[in-house]
Structure 1
Amino acid sequence: MGLRVAELRLVNCGAESYVVEGYPSVVLRDDRNDPVEVSVQHGAAGITTGAPNVDAAPESVTLAPGQSASVAMVWRNLVTDFTAPAVTARIVEVEPRAGAPKLWLRLSGPVDLGNTGKLGLGPWTAVAR
């Protein structure tokens, strides 16, 4: 079925509390660092069902120094149109909260969307210690 799920984790390495809430801003980039065309949506609708980390209600998460929060991403590697090129991204650009510095994460494995054009994104969730 080509269903993929990945987690991004943010660790507060600072000396003060850091608050994240709702959803980060996410841009996928290809091997040339160019943005790829993809619809980033909140939740897993239209991709899969029963993805609690992706379909959770957004809430504010306060991270003390050393604590972390995560975001789940879900997509399908599915080709439905053989005339359209498959999309692959090896870089995820994340803005944890509005106005925060953007982080570029180079992945060891790709976000291989096929030609579905959809990426489901969950809200920030506190990571239990």
Structure 2
Amino acid sequence: MSRLPFLVLVLLSACTPVPGQPEPAPSRSADACPHGVEYDVLAQEAAMGLRVLSLRATNCGAEAVELNGYPSVTVLDAERAPLLVAVGQGSFGISAVTAFDAPPQPVVVGPGESARTGLLWRNTYTDVSAPPAVGEHLEIAVAAGRPAQVYTPLDEHRHPVTLDLGSTGKVGVMPWTAMTP
């Protein structure tokens, strides 16, 4: 008679939580927030070729972060290589969008608090000599010269959100704005 089924049963029961006892809360390691900021998608809008991706940056560090101006953003392809895309402040001549063209204001983001920014682009494909540009990842930092991290935008269902730039080659960036709790 083999002892393997008995051993498997013992190992599985050792990994199963006891009913009625609370599971221990996951502990946050120092590596869980290496840049002090975590990003997530707030919303995405698409109308008549104009695209807006709203992003939230949450301070996951222990000290307040002051944001003044625009995040530093590089659009990356599926292999995480930079796309030949111009990234500019405000609406960047893409379309007149008030929130993107508002002057930057200093925003202090305490631990656990968040600020908002956004990306604006057009999905227009007029140059058939090259394939359309599609961004799948962003290299993003809270400001130029600050540590950057690669972020893959995901929607509320955890599906990737792409920047379908077509052949336009331009992305506008909204200044940081405060978020009310």
TM-score (norm 2): 0.67
Contact 1:30 1:36 in 2 (8 A): yes
Percent identity for Structure 1 against Structure 2: 42
Alpha-carbon distance between aligned partners in 2 of 1:102 and 1:125, rounded to the nearest angstrom: 19
Alpha-carbon distance between aligned partners in 2 of 1:45 and 1:63, rounded to the nearest angstrom: 26
Partner of 1:81: 127
In structure 2, the gaps of 5 or more residues are 1-47, 154-159
Alpha-carbon distance between aligned partners in 1 of 2:88 and 2:147, rounded to the nearest angstrom: 21
Matching residue within 168, 172, 181 for 1:116: 168
- 1:75-124 deviations in Å (ceiling 9; x for gaps): 01101222232100100110112443212111212101000000011111
Alpha-carbon distance between aligned partners in 1 of 2:57 and 2:85, rounded to the nearest angstrom: 23
**Matched residue SS, 2:127:** coil
Partner of 1:8: 55
TM-score (norm 1): 0.92
How well do the aligned residues superpose, as a CA RMSD in angstroms?
A: 1.3
Contact 1:78 1:115 in 2 (8 A): yes
Partner of 1:96: 142
In structure 1, the gaps of 5 or more residues are none
Query: For residues 57 and 115 of structure 1, do their structure 2 counterparts lie closer, same or farther at Cα, with a shift above 3 Å needed?
Result: same
Aligned length: 128
Partner of 1:19: 66
When Rg is computed on C-alpha atoms for both structures, the one with the higher figure is 2
Query: For residues 125 and 89 of structure 1, do their structure 2 counterparts lie closer, same or farther at Cα, with a shift above 3 Å needed?
Result: same
Query: Post-superposition shift, 1:44?
Result: 1.2
